[in-house]
Structure 1
């Protein structure tokens, strides 16, 4: 263990024997301090949307195709011009130092080993450069929480470009922080500095709650902001937090290179729809103009399959990878990706789909439970 400002950070480095990803939550709870675990696991208000994210996958069923004459399904894919070994990516998630002493650096290592795509957060525990270095050349995206202070935004974007990130993810559904009761109950304040905030006017994040962190965030974000980031960075910009066809089309109209369907893992607008339930309508509106990324509630290979079948090109995971990080560091993250990939391959075989492209043409039944 490492002690940082009175907060215990474990240093586990090991592969994990995983039964399922849901099990990891209970295991991680035993080793992540209460305040940190509450911040990671919780949703907003009474967590209706958080729970709906999981239940929504029951609304569609995969039609088995037994006479498809295939074997050895392949999970490799190409999105945004990047060759990846898996359609599963690491969603941007803040403050991973709450789970492990090496934080995002170890996450980047584990994702790279799995052949996946890593997205690092503005509010990472480790710097943009260090996180990028952890991936040892594997593709990474940088997620921007746009600040009211454009000089701060410019500083982060400059660092991201210098670190060699392949795209910018602009999060637009977090202009204020969701009302998260676990943080209030635990009197949670970030005990570990956020590396990207240390050198700038927002301070380092240490000793602040989530509402204080978000206080510096831009609370007015529109299509012009998307254009501004594209023009400044000359990088692809992906707009994250899309839950309606209208917003998807606004983003594309502003020049976005990708649309990211997400409700922030149920951490922002409680009472909003499960991301899976809006994915199909958003993907239909996008109509293959740009790639679609999806996250929120993914715990099974069948979830990944269903999301791709409804229009996602990449499927993000957050909490399960962080639990893997807590339990096993870089190897733990790799174990999570490998387990989910193995589940996906089983589903692909039973559904008669050889490739990720085949999944996009798979048949799902529309049911309601």
Structure 2
């Protein structure tokens, strides 16, 4: 059940998963994933304050149950840019799915398609956009763009995603440089599996480079004119990804953006930035339904999906949990994770009298202020737990920590 790429272990599993909640998967995945790869997925930047509070902040908002609603059998179907979806839960873009599974983004796309969810792939994907599209030809998909300094590279990407049938672009504007990700430094993590667009453009595999080195190839200067140029050159909807305040929502819409994506990159960029759920109401008020809003970061429960929708989101992205599902179960594992969110979401819909996702967007939510923590990061030596060693999670041959393994 394990394939080795130059000594790096990749899961080959393909099975449905049993879980009580998605957090169950985080400890289980350590048994099959190398330490550096695990912490690349699991960690945030610096002390991980924002990473933790992305999830904790959902507790600042309370779902108000409703009685005598005379309602049963809630439905999670929704529509986004004309695409019919079975759920508002979306696969947020993450680089290098090959650290979780041999079939990488191809398996993730299959799992998302089986669940009727919107899939999005990264510029830093291992698999080609053509192979991803072929895995589920009729499935809806968006592309997350790390704009390059080299517009010839950008044009190659644009041509490829249009031919592969991608329906739109998430333009990432909140990661002009990599956040200070201490876990990657402590484990000497570099990308252990080739990245397709780098291979086809330069013959450079994107293999053996650090996260900071990869970001350095991207544009460090992105403005409103770039939004307009991408729209003109692709003819696709462009959603600005990384909006965290009302001012930037206004700026994005003024530049012609077809949507705004509220995210702090899962707490991986600016540590000390607010939790996304805390800024969503302000942004939703500023957008005022002029364009759709996508939301992610810290979503671990169906109730989190419910709260984000009720506070103004149209789609709610998940990240780390589906990669754990991918490692533990391949495409079927990804499908299982989405099903778990839907199961929990439907319970909240039933208990609040919400028959449809549109009903959820008008549900009653209360708010209580909070105080923040000041904990050290999970990879600080004073808190870091011993990492398990198993037959499946060890790199073989001459490969070492620079390929995503432990250097202990």
Q: Give the TM-score band, short-chain normalised.
A: over 0.9
Map 1:213-252; keep pairs closer than 5 Å: 213-252=214-253
Q: Which consecutive segments of 4 or more residues in structure 1 shift more than 3 A? A: none
Specify the alignment match of 2:256 in structure 1: 255
Structure 1 position 135, deviation (Å): 2.4
Match of 1:189 in 2: 190
Tell me the equivalent position of 2:11.
10
Corresponding residue for 2:177? 176
Deviation at 1:368, TM superposition (A): 2.4
Name the CA distance, whole Å, in 1 between partners of 2:122 and 2:22.
22
TM-score (norm 2): 0.89
- The aligned residue for residue 273 of structure 1 is 274
In structure 2, how many angstroms separate the alpha carbons of the residues matched to 1:196 and 1:343? 37
1:146-199 per-residue CA deviation (whole Å, 9 max, x = no partner) reads: 011011011111100000000011000011001101111111111100112102
Q: What are the superposed Cα offsets for residues 197-227 of structure 1, whole Å, 9 maximum, x if unpaired?
A: 1022382210100011011110000110000
Residue-by-residue CA offset, 1:24-43 (whole Å, 9 max, x unaligned): 11111221111111111110
Q: CA deviation at 1:132?
A: 1.6
Which residue of the partner structure matches residue 307 of structure 2? 306
Q: Which runs of 5+ in 1 are unaligned?
A: none
Aligned length: 369
Q: Deviations over 1:238-275 (max 9, x none)?
A: 11010011111111111111100000000011110111
Distance 2:73 2:30 in 1: 36
Measure the CA separation in 1 of the matches of 2:94 and 2:108: 11
Show the counterpart of 2:395.
none
Distance (whole Å) between structure 1 residues aligned to residue 203 and residue 298 of structure 2: 31
Q: Does 1:24 align with 2:11?
A: no
In the TM superposition, residue 81 of structure 1 has moved relative to its aligned partner by 1.2
Equivalent-residue separation in structure 1 for 2:72 and 2:38 (angstroms)? 41
What root-mean-square deviation, in Å, do the aligned CA atoms of Structure 1 and Structure 2 show? Answer: 0.9
Rg bigger for which structure?
2
Alignment of 1:47-126 (within 5 A): 47-126=48-127
Q: 1:151 to 1:12 in 2, by over 3 A?
A: same
* TM-score using structure 1 length: 0.99
